[in-house]
């Protein structure tokens, strides 16, 4: 950009800063520039930001450490260090018990203890045992100290006059400073000092001639009504200058993926249902034809609850039909061949699979057509790593209609995943206690260069359907939704979804 155009676009404050720097021979601190320009430091720094962006000035930063008295230090600077006051009292009355000397010095109990400690440390006094009394007696060093100040007292006096830059203190004051800091009489504060310097471009701009005339940056109602807007100088704006980034509020990225999947399923004709956080083992396992001694019921997979101790079971006739399927089987199967225990069915667990919600729905809607889905959190005792969590989202769906086959199931799943923008999907045979045939599906994860298992699917077995009064084929699928979101969002660690990284959340674009 042309220098004259840059100068024309400068505000009055920015021009004043340039002129002040010129008057200060091209180099000065922010404070000096502010005093010369008649501006406060905040205004100077706002002007400096623009001037440095245009390359008119350079900013040099230097960190300094300042020594400042604490409130306790101020008190000792005024009244004297406790050991000094006690030494003077000791010299005036001779050897005496510590309490008496402290009283003469008008020291409080805590100050007395400090004074005694430092009298001994500085070698000004010693304790003597006389006539069954412990007396405090002045030493030769203490007598000499009466007529001269110690370095720490000198430093206290210096700092009471004004705070000092640590680097500017004399070399013999470094050790006293450490002592006073250790005694919490002085604190060190870091401060950033900024020095401004005109650049070659800045000097050229000044040679063009700069006049800091007042400018108007806003057309107010008063200016318009009075007609003065025709007389005032309007500030020039650089409409292509980059502005500060704005991060408006938005939905969490994982929730965006949930909403996207929900929209896809609704478009495909599914109806959404909701599950429960706390579920009975009857709906979580028994109704799914999952044996009561199945390993997944152990604490290693599902999470049992101590409260409530028991849950309610559905109608007795349904429980008996499910029990019969477990004990003897249905539709030609032999079942699991054990004695069904309703006490186990009543045990509460944190819902470990959203299939429990869809099976509940089937029990109350045994006639076709049925086409529902559930997206909810489930809970399992998992070892947490980059692709496993103990609490995660699962998306579950079922379709019931006469004549459905596994081919229909694969078609549904491929359509859902492709609509989510994940075209690379593969199916392989799988096993689940409540579906036959069963498949598992993997989606390719480019960041890890591997296939990641995201869902299981199949056709509900007769042992599950007949006790519920269902006589038609039911397709069922369950997606490990958090893993799907991980691929969709391009992150390689599922835990990143829950780290609350504000910067990542701010910069994450809407899907």
pLDDT at 187: 92
Considering the entire predicted model, what is its pTM?
0.56
- Tell me how far the alpha carbon of residue 331 is from its chain's centroid: 56
Q: How many CA atoms lie within 13 A of 164 on its CB side?
A: 17
Mean pLDDT taken over the chain:
87
Residue 348 forms beta bridges with which residues?
280
Instruction: Indicate if the pLDDT at residue 390 is higher than 80.
Output: yes
Instruction: Indicate if the pLDDT at residue 325 is higher than 80.
Output: yes
**Beta carbons of 54 and 238 less than 8 angstroms apart:** no
The beta strand positions in 267-306, using DSSP E, are: 271-272, 278-280
- The Cα 453–Cα 441 span in angstroms is 6
Q: What is the mean pLDDT of residues 241-264?
A: 86
pLDDT at 356: 92
Domain boundaries, the chain: 1-66+165-243, 71-148, 255-507
307-336: b or e for each residue (b if 16 or more CB lie within 10 Å)?
eeeebebbeeebbebbbbbbeebbeeeebb
Q: What is the CA radius of gyration of the chain?
A: 41
Sorting pLDDT into bands at 50, 70 and 90, what band is 1?
low
- pLDDT tens, 90-146? 888 888 888 888 888 888 988 989 989 998 999 998 888 877 788 888 888 888 888
Tokens of 89: 């009292």
**Beta carbons of 511 and 250 less than 8 angstroms apart:** no
**Beta carbons of 383 and 341 less than 8 angstroms apart:** no
pLDDT at 432: 84
pLDDT at 299: 56
- The Cα 325–Cα 463 span in angstroms is 6
Instruction: Indicate if the pLDDT at residue 191 is higher than 90.
Output: no
**Beta carbons of 328 and 314 less than 8 angstroms apart:** no
- pLDDT tens, 457-490? 999 999 999 999 999 999 999 887 777 777 778 7
**Beta carbons of 439 and 433 less than 8 angstroms apart:** no
Is 95 exposed, middle or buried, given 0-12, 13-18 or 19+ CB atoms closer than 10 A?
A: middle
Q: In this structure, which topology does domain 255-507 adopt according to CATH? A: BirA Bifunctional Protein; domain 2 (3.30.930)
How are the residues of the chain apportioned to helix, strand and coil, as percentages rounded to the nearest 5?
A: 45, 20, 35
- The Cα 187–Cα 178 span in angstroms is 10
Q: Given this structure, which CATH class describes domain 1-66+165-243?
A: mainly alpha
Domain 1-66+165-243 and domain 71-148, same fold? Reply is: yes
Kindly write down the DSSP assignment for every residue of 126-155, as one continuous string. Answer: EEEEETTEEEEEE-HHHHHHTTS--HHHHH
**Beta carbons of 87 and 107 less than 8 angstroms apart:** no
Instruction: Indicate if the pLDDT at residue 298 is higher than 80.
Output: no
CATH of domain 71-148: 1.10.10.10
Best CA proximity match to 416, nearest among 477, 331, 495, 482: 477
Tokens of 102: 């402290």
């Amino acid at each position: 950009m042309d220098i004259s155009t840059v100068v024309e676009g400068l505000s009055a404050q920015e021009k004043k800063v340039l002129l002040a720097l010129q008057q200060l021979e091209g180099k000065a601190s922010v404070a000096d520039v502010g005093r010369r320009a008649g501006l406060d430091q905040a205004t100077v720094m706002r002007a400096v930001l623009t001037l440095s962006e245009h390359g008119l000035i350079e900013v040099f930063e230097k960190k300094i450490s300042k020594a400042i008295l604490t409130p306790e230090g101020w008190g000792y600077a005024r009244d004297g260090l406790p050991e000094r006051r006690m030494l003077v009292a000791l010299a005036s009355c001779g050897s005496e018990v510590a309490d008496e000397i402290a009283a003469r010095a008008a020291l409080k109990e805590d100050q007395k203890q400090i004074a005694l400690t430092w009298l001994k440390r500085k070698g000004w006094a010693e304790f003597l045992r006389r006539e069954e009394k412990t007396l405090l007696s002045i030493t030769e060093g203490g007598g000499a100290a009466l007529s001269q100040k110690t370095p720490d007292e000198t430093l206290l006096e210096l700092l009471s006059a004004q705070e000092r830059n640590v680097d500017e203190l004399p070399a013999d004051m470094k050790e006293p400073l450490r002592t006073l800091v250790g005694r919490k009489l002085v604190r060190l504060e870091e401060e950033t000092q900024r020095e401004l310097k005109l650049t070659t471009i800045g000097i050229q701009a000044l040679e063009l001639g700069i006049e800091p005339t007042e400018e108007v940056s806003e057309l107010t109602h008063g200016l318009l009504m009075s007609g003065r807007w025709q007389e005032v100088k309007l500030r020039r704006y650089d409409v292509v200058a980059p502005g500060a980034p704005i991060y408006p509020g938005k939905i969490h990225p994982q929730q965006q993926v949930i909403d996207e999947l929900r929209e896809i399923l609704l478009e495909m004709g599914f109806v959404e249902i909701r599950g429960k956080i706390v579920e009975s083992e009857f709906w979580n396992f028994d109704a799914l034809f999952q044996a009561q001694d199945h390993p997944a019921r152990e604490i290693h997979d599902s999470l049992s609850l101590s409260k409530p101790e028991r849950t309610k079971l559905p109608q007795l006739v349904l429980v008996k039909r499910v029990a019969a399927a477990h004990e003897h089987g249905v539709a030609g199967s032999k079942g699991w061949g054990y004695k069904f225990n309703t006490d186990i069915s009543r045990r509460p667990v944190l819902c470990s699979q959203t299939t429990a919600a869809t099976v509940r729905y089937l029990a109350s809607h045994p006639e076709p057509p049925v086409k529902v889905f559930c997206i909810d959190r489930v809970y399992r005792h998992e070892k947490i790593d980059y692709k496993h969590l103990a609490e995660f989202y699962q998306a579950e769906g079922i379709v019931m209609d006469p004549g459905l086959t596994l081919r229909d199931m694969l078609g549904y799943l491929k359509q859902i995943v492709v609509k989510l923008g994940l075209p690379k999907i593969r199916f392989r045979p799988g096993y689940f206690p409540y579906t036959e045939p069963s498949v598992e599906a993997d989606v390719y994860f480019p960041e890890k260069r591997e296939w990641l298992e995201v869902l299981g699917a199949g056709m509900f077995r007769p042992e599950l359907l007949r006790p519920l009064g269902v006589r038609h084929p039911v397709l069922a699928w369950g997606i490990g939704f958090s893993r799907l979101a991980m691929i969709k969002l391009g992150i390689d660690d599922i835990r990143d979804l829950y780290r609350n990284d504000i910067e990542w959340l701010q910069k994450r674009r809407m899907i």
